[in-house]
Chains A and B, each alone.
Chain A
Amino acid sequence: MMMRWLYKLPLRLRSLFRRDQVELELTDELRFHLGKLMEENVARGMTPEEARYAALRELGGVEQIKEECRDMRRVNYIENFLQDICYGMRMLAKNPGVTTVVLLSLALGIGANTAIFSLLNAVVLKALPVQHSEQLVQFSETYPDGSENSNLSYPYFERLRHRNQSLSGVFAFTELGRVNVGFAGKADLAIGQVATGGYFSTLGLTPVAGRYFTDEDDKARSPVAVISYAFWQRRFGGDPFIVDKSITVNQAPLTVIGVTPPAFLGLQVGDSPDITVPMTLLGQLTPGPPDWDGAFDTWLEIMGRLKSGVTRQQAQAEFDLLHHQLLTDFAPTAGPDERQYVARMLANSRLNVKPGAKGFEWGLRHDFSLPLQILMMMVGAVLLIACANVANLLLARATARQKEIAVRLALGAGRARLVRQLLTESVLLAAISGAVGFLVAWWGSQLLLRMVSTGDSPLPVDLTPDLRILAFTTGVSLLTGVLFGLAPALRATRINLTPSLKEGRGQFAGQGRRRAFGLDRILVAAQIALSLTLLVGAVLFVRSLQKLWAIDPGYDRNNVLMFSLDPRLAGYKENGKLADLYRRVLNDLRTLPGVRSASLSLVRPVDDEAYWVNVISAIDGRKLPENEGIRIAVNALSPGYFATLGTPMLIGREFGPEDNEKSPQVAIISEILARRCFGSENPLGRSITRHGGAQFRIVGVVKDSRYGGVRDLPRSVLYTPFFQLSLADVFFSTTFEVRYSGGLSTMLDEVRRQVHTIDPTLPLFRVKTLEVQTRDSFVKERLIATLSTFFGFLAVLLACIGLYGTLAFGVARRTGEIGVRMALGARQHDVLWMVLRETLLVVTIGVAVGFPCAVAASRLLASQLFGVKPTDVVALSGGSLLLAAVALFAGYLPAKRASEVDPMVALRYE
């Protein structure tokens, strides 16, 4: 019966768009009928007037017939909906002040929620953009002491690959860090990684251009490379002929064979490799031979894909057995030092098979998962407060419109229709807020990302909102629309008609008093309780950050500029050349004006990239029992390091030019290490031996400092002279530290110029002051402190706006009553007190309820706090007092206004 639509569709469209015409026709049609009736009546002998009245009576209610015909038009719903929207817009525009406040607070609430959710999604929730990501698994090893390591050894990987039954594919990968990529004569830095042949096929990626390398390529050591989409765009300008072009990576010639899809950002959130190379090429790209044989030297990360039908639990069971087998196989290869270690491992270690759908779980995801969830809850609370505000404001406005609603009800409007119309208004508000909120979210998440990026470039985290976030914002908007639209709408239409239709405000006053603690007061109290919780949380985080910053790191953070060089990338390969270069840079730096002292080191203070560990196996030649070797951190320094950093030497001396490649190995040890090795005896002149046999004579003891960052406890550190290292074998880049006076940017320019003069092909990177480096090491704490403070204060502001609004409206409603009271003799401060009493009640209840909530919530946050207890007195009392003060101020204003009411005016208003 589709033929009918040929007629139906034009009718519908006409009813929608040519309504006036259609109405006219209906009138004409009925008029014609009336005319005919009149004719009949006249023919029967009535006068024209009588005929007309008789005809009208016969026909019945013309308007009713018209209305029924209109109902038949079947476009009513659309019409009504459009009508509701237009009316809603007009109502909103009528009250620009209220509308703006409501829109802004909602937009901010929705925007903040979406922004945090985008970040949470990108860092914690999003799955890898590969097919069937739920089949991916990642491996890690748990050690007897409970610690977990995501790295495994090459022999282990090889056997795992050959012997497992549960996986359809498995691969290993590891990062290369910074590599020098040369193309068309220019060299530039990029982030590289090596992976075994199964990397791309196991993940199931489709190349955007070219192809990927496979196990065959890996075995054949093909000199090939796969680049990322972003790198392709950035470095090669999206060259369509990139496939088969030649490049050099750390001076090794390779051919680009493929490009990964733009959505693929690597396996670890925040680490996006620009270039991936077959694992077998590792020896050509890094100094020193790779450790293919050390069964217990862990340096690879391994992921795999389960065969279809195999569950992770089944795989775990298989790998539990396999792990034991492999350890048994490897046990004979262990050196004499390692026997006990192996035995312990056999008894009590485990290979974990974890879900890998979202990629590798270490790094950024690990660090930020909990803080982001905490922030999510905070913004959720802010949104609730905003919704409560809006609910109150609309409730108040609905009460003010009671007369209008009563009239409409009396005229025959259905309650359903009215509720629908009021609801449409609210949903409209929510929709507009949602749209604005989405923009706020977009801008906000970019801001967030910048706050979190501490490296040389913004974190490669993909923050484009995907469907989940879109659905989330829409859902939140609609939910708020229904939440705060329904209550006021239902309340407003559930009124007794007669009192409302009568003029005057008297009945409002009566109503106000009977509901002494109505919905609006409860909402405000709840808002106050919530904002107290947020405020206390914010204060706790801020205090944590303060405590972190105040820790004495053992050095002077101010006015120290740091930068790193990696001359290997520019082709310096031999020890001699490297030493000369470093010496030259150091000396030239020292001659610059404004430089008070300069040094270089292998590991920078508060290093965010790596640190170096080892074990002391002998003191004064006397070997320590096998599992009592002293665990140490290691660094290699030039002369002047401690002077530059401002760490005092306790006894002995710093390194000097006499400690070089030809002189005996010396070392400086930290206070704690001195105490551990030698107790209260003088360590100078004594010797210690490091794992591997190297022996050092101690020439100095330095005060303890925080090696890895302020949260690090003072460690046992062994410092050796930089120039006594075999520089060509060193894997890290070198950091120069410069203590300067004067302006930072001038210093920076001079340093760059100086290095450029020495060698223009040497790129500087990781250029930061020590202060910024320290600050960046707290990025998590700073993020959460900044945001929680912002949201805490926002919550307080919104709650106080809510309080103010409710009270102001109450006062406005009771103007008549106040006038009467004053006329009967009440004085100004009596009225003031009367209104203030209400404020006091609401605030007291809010704080009373909020206090235990704040304590409970703070307990949940305990893991993120530093040096501050969850029940910190300052936070709790400070937060409560601050909130109470602001709230009382917000309540004072309407009270003041109430007390200034002129009784004559008020009474006349009635």
Chain B
Amino acid sequence: MSKPTDLVQGTLDLLILKTIALDPMHGWGIAQRIRQVSGEVLQVNQGALYPALHRLEQSGWIKAKWGESDNNRRAKFYSLTTAGRKYLEQEQANWQRLSAAIGLVLETP
């Protein structure tokens, strides 16, 4: 397996937002999900995860609620706000445009 790639802050935000778009999740769960869905390629830097979550919360894109985890322990669950949903759509579109553009450049001989 190739070495897990470090994620830039902006992309981490995007991944977090997408991950919790459907279900509210706690920090651990988010990291796990990103790993799984990306096929073990993307491993979230645990030191960067929580600051990112808190930053997103302070900016109003996500909201948090305390609840019980699967093993009955208290955990903080994050979900998207309405504004966050719109922001996600925006950022997703931007990302796609960006990657398409990079792809074009890389394909030219």
Contacts and interface: CB of A to CB of B under 8 A. Distances in A.
Interface string A364-386: 00000000000000000000000
Given A8-B60, A29-B76, A73 B54 contact: yes
Contacts of B58: 8, 11, 72-74
A7 B46 contact: no
A69 B57 CA distance: 11
B75 interface: yes
Contact of B83 (A3, A59, A71): A3
Nearest to A33: B28
A49 interface: no
A4 B57 CA distance: 10
B36 interface: no
Contacts of B47: 59-61, 64-65
B46 A72 contact: no
Contacts, number: 71
A25 interface: yes
A65 B51 contact: yes
Contacts of B51: 65, 68-69, 71-72
A71 B48 CA distance: 13
Contacts of A6: 60
Q: Which of B28, B58, B75, B76 has the largest number of chain A CB atoms within 10 A?
A: B58
A75 to B, nearest CB: 9
A656 B60 CA distance: 102
B50 to A, nearest CB: 5
B76 to A, nearest CB: 5
B57 A11 contact: yes
Interface in A54-103: 58-61, 64-65, 68-69, 71-74
B74 A60 contact: no
A60 B50 contact: no
A35 interface: yes
A4 B27 contact: no
A17 interface: no
B60 A5 contact: yes
Nearest to B28: A36
B69 interface: yes
B25 to A, nearest CB: 12
Interface in A403-456: none
A7 B82 CA distance: 11
B32 to A, nearest CB: 8
B97 interface: no
Q: Report which residue of A30, A33, A59, A71 has the largest number of chain B beta carbons within 10 angstroms of its beta carbon.
A: A33
Contacts of A830: none
Contacts of A69: 50-51, 54
A29 B50 contact: yes
Given A4-B83, A8-B60, A33 B54 contact: no
A226 B76 CA distance: 76
A29 B27 CA distance: 8
30 contacts: A3-B60, A3-B81, A4-B59, A4-B61, A5-B60, A7-B60, A11-B57, A25-B66, A28-B76, A29-B26, A29-B50, A29-B75, A29-B76, A30-B50, A32-B26, A32-B28, A32-B69, A33-B46, A33-B50, A35-B73, A36-B28, A59-B46, A60-B46, A60-B47, A61-B47, A65-B47, A69-B50, A71-B51, A72-B54, A73-B54
Given A28-B76, A59-B47, 7 more contacts: A4-B81, A4-B83, A60-B46, A61-B47, A68-B50, A71-B51, A73-B58
Interface of A: 1, 3-8, 11, 25, 28-30, 32-33, 35-37, 58-61, 64-65, 68-69, 71-74
Closest 10 CB pairs of A and B: A4-B60, A60-B47, A68-B51, A72-B54, A36-B28, A7-B60, A69-B54, A72-B55, A8-B60, A32-B75
